[in-house]
Structure 1
Amino acid sequence: MEILVIRHGQSEADLLGVHEGRADFSLTALGEQQAKRMATYVASHFPPDIILTSPLKRAKSTALIIQGAVGCELLEEKDLMEFNNGVLAGLSREEAAIKYPIPPNGRPAHIPIENGESDLEFRYRAERIYHKVLFDYSNCERIAIVSHGGLISHLLKAFLRQPINNEFVFATGDTGIHLLEVKGDKRIVKFLNFIPASDTVQNSCDY
């Protein structure tokens, strides 16, 4: 099975300089262009049998554009949503730094942000959806996942069987594509963070 992991296009939050996470911003005009360019590439080179998407607007809009180019089934998966950043969602970074400053030694991995989830819960969610994909869609030759920078980073860690807590982060640009393959007991990374003919690249975890 090949797993095509795709980040959404540029969202309005990217222009506003706010914490995004669960804040449900739409794609910008540029984001739609990025998604159309990427969808054309995916349809020509790696058409999936099915698309799974986060239900947040920026991801689902991107997934719908891919579906329009490919013509396959599309399903929403709540576990593909971005980090639940609770009280930070939609706040400017300046306001958030004043109201909810990060503790001097960082927030412990098991302690959630107010009204949100902890880093451990976030990683577990990525593990859960990764294993669900392997089990529920094992009959697919290629599956596309459309999600967010933070979730994608954790999904790649799950694929690589990295420890729950580590310092590595996988950045993904707007409409960046990662191609993975599960072949028996092998886990093959074919490429990471490829952006088809992009004019604007933003490598980030969008929370």
Structure 2
Amino acid sequence: MRLIIVRHGETDWTLTGRYTGGTDLALTAKGRTQAAALAPVLANVLRGRDPVVVTSPRQRAIQTITLALPGHQMDIDPLVAEFDYGDYEGLTGEHIRRRAPGWDIWRDGCPHGESTPDVGTRADRLLAGVVPDGTQPLVVVTHGHFSRILAARAIGLAPKYGRLFASTTASVSLVEDHDSERCLGLCNADSGLLQNSTHGPTLQSGWTAESLSAAGDRPTTRHKIFATWKNQVSLAHSLVLADAATRAVSEAEGLFELSVCPSMTALASVADT
């Protein structure tokens, strides 16, 4: 499997932190620029292979992939729409917690909307329906919460562990198979993480050790994250990455077993200077 998860670019509501489910907002001017800038990121991850593209029906997702992969055929699928926020649509987290102190979307879901397991069921239906063939990369263009839950389900974690995976606007994450292991190959990378060098653009990752240690409840199952880099990243920096990640893993109560794979080319969180 090579599953490439793309979150749409900026909208007016992402700027203000308002929960945006079914509200059909367009990208801002900056969001359109972000989306177009994803083209070299996707080219790097796709490695010349022609993908199947599935997008949310919302115009912010369709605009994003139209700019990031211009002219490419796409399938519009409501399975990859955002979390239905129900009564909390259009509100910020601060406003919601005034109504419901202590509210946690991962635990509590949204009244008259979806629960986190509901969204996980949609992710499972997508994975069961389009991933098993595996002959082409799959690009899924979606939204913040759904992208996080999809990443969790793709590596076998319960939907609530989507909280482990950051997803900023106009970002790319990758789940892939390596040595018969399903791995998180890239997380939350954007165009700002393309480093120009004598060897051309190098894809860096938005993954950080801190994102592992910021999680809530942990499962007992162990999974592997394969931290990888291109040759522009020094061995010293790679060791710094491994050390930081190892410390974060320890703090995360053994959820992840870290494996550093120099032969792969997808993930690095530090750049050579």
TM-score bucket (shorter structure): 0.7 to 0.9
* Pair 1:147–1:106, CA change in 2 (3 A): closer
Deviation track 1:4-47 (CA, whole Å, cap 9, x = no partner) reads 11111111102234222222221111110000010243246525
Q: What does residue 131 of structure 1 align with?
A: 128
Tell me the amino acid that sits aligned with residue 115 of structure 2. Answer: S
Counterpart-to-counterpart distance in 1, 2:158 and 2:52: 29
Which residue is 2:69 aligned to? 67
Q: Which amino acid aligns with 1:130?
A: L
Residue 115 of structure 2 is aligned to residue 113 of structure 1 = no
What is the CA distance between 1:165 and its match in structure 2? 4.5
Q: How high is the sequence identity, in percent, across the aligned residues?
A: 24
The structure with higher relative contact order (CA 8 Å, sep 6+) is 1
Structure 1 residue 180, shift from structure 2 partner: 2.0
1:87 — aligned with what? 87
- Aligned residues, how many? 193
Dislocated runs of 4+, deviation >4 Å: 92-95, 104-109, 164-168
Relative to the length of structure 2, the TM-score reads 0.62
Deviation at 1:108, TM superposition (A): 8.7
Report if the CA contact (8 A) 2:37-2:191 is conserved. yes
Shift of 1:107: 7.0
Query: Separation in 2 of the partners of 1:187 and 1:177?
Result: 17
TM-score after normalising by structure 1: 0.79
Larger deviation: 10-19 or 184-193?
184-193
Report the secondary structure of 1:73's partner residue: coil
Distance 1:5 1:155 in 2: 8
> Take 1:5 and 1:177, find their aligned partners in 2: how far apart are those partners?
6
Q: Aligned to 2:69, what secondary structure does the other structure show?
A: helix
Q: Counterpart amino acid of 1:81? A: A
Say which of 168, 175, 185 aligns to 2:170.
175
How far did 1:117 drift? 1.0
Deviates more, 1:6-15 or 1:29-38: 6-15
Amino acid at match of 2:111: E
Q: Which runs of 5+ in 2 are unaligned?
A: 194-205, 207-273
Residue pair 1:49, 1:140 contacting (<8 A) in 2 also: no
CA RMSD in angstroms comes to 2.8
In structure 1, the residue matched to 2:138 is 143
Aligned letter for 1:192? Answer: C
Q: CA deviation at 1:49?
A: 2.2
Q: Which ranges in structure 1 are unaligned for 5 or more consecutive residues?
A: 202-207
